[in-house]
């Protein structure tokens, strides 16, 4: 089964993508993982991506699409895959369609984990990260044993800049502008599945499995 996970930052799509991949026995693919693997292996695509990243620039759509197309053509993706964080825009979605067409296949489902903006701002504002080991917590859903202190290494827990309400609002604005149109794109293709992301993690996962018939 070939799935795309959609959802705003903080909707929980990464967590659900990993669980679904384990459940289906297919690779969980994120663009970050692809970049790191290609850079580590010193591939031509990896070298090109590294040049942009080292310069602090965004990797161009065309190169991202080439990297994803290369990854999904691997043998371990023959029975399917789950894409997490790609595509982000309509041009990327169209490029993915062409790549899959060349492989004689197509996307089975695009799963949209739907969470209202207010809930995401509240959810991400509760995140805390350890300044020492990087462990993450949530003051409501996964609190440390001692407030403000990491269970693992005893260092301080902080609210990262990325998780501050003003930053989250900016990220959500970018998401709605660039990525929200993908929901219409996949809906028009008849492959969109919408899941209520305000439920508990296990309930979200159960709804995904039920709606994709897995």
Q: Model confidence over 183-211: pLDDT tens digits?
A: 999 999 999 999 999 998 999 999 999 99
Cα distance between residue 192 and residue 72, in whole Å? 20
Amino acid 10: pLDDT:
87
Domain coordinates in residue numbering, the chain:
2-127+157-211
| β-strand pairing of 81-84 with 157-158 | unpaired
Amino acid 56: pLDDT:
84
Average pLDDT, the chain: 93
Amino acid 9: pLDDT:
87
Q: Model confidence over 174-184: pLDDT tens digits?
A: 889 988 899 99
71 φ, ψ (degrees, to nearest 5): -70, -45
167 φ, ψ (degrees, to nearest 5): -70, -40
pTM of the shown model: 0.83
**Which pLDDT band holds residue 141 (cuts at 50, 70, 90)?**
confident
Asked if 72 and 29 touch (Cβ cutoff 8 Å), the reply is: yes
Amino acid 143: pLDDT:
94
Amino acid 157: pLDDT:
97
Asked if 138 and 128 touch (Cβ cutoff 8 Å), the reply is: yes
2-127+157-211 homologous superfamily: P-loop containing nucleotide triphosphate hydrolases (3.40.50.300)
List, by residue number, the catalytic residues.
13, 88, 127, 160, 171
Is pLDDT above 90 for 108? yes
With a CB cutoff of 8 Å and minimum separation 6, the contacts of 63 are 45, 48, 49, 52
**Which pLDDT band holds residue 85 (cuts at 50, 70, 90)?**
confident
Amino acid 59: pLDDT:
86
Quickly count: other Cβ atoms within 10 Å of residue 99's Cβ.
Answer: 18
**Which pLDDT band holds residue 58 (cuts at 50, 70, 90)?**
confident
């Amino acid at each position: 089964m070939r799935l795309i996970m959609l959802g705003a930052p903080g909707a929980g799509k990464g967590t659900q993508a990993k669980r679904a991949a384990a459940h289906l026995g297919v690779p969980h693919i994120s663009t970050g993982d692809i970049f790191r693997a290609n850079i580590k292996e010193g591939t031509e695509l990896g070298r090109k991506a590294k040049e942009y990243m080292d310069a602090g620039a965004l990797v161009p759509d065309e190169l991202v699409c080439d990297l994803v197309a290369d990854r999904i053509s691997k043998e371990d993706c023959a029975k399917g895959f789950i894409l997490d964080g790609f595509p982000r825009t309509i041009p990327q979605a169209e490029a993915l369609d062409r790549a899959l067409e060349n492989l004689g296949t197509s996307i089975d489902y695009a799963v949209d984990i739907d969470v209202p903006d207010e809930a995401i701002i509240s959810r991400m504002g509760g995140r805390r990260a350890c300044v020492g080991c990087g462990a993450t917590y949530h003051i409501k859903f996964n609190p440390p044993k001692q407030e403000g202190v990491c269970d693992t290494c005893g260092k301080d827990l902080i609210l990262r800049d990325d998780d501050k309400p003003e930053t989250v609002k900016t990220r959500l604005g970018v998401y709605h502008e660039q990525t929200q149109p993908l929901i219409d794109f996949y809906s028009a293709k008849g492959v969109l599945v919408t899941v209520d992301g305000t439920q508990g993690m296990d309930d979200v996962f159960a709804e995904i499995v039920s709606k994709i018939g897995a």
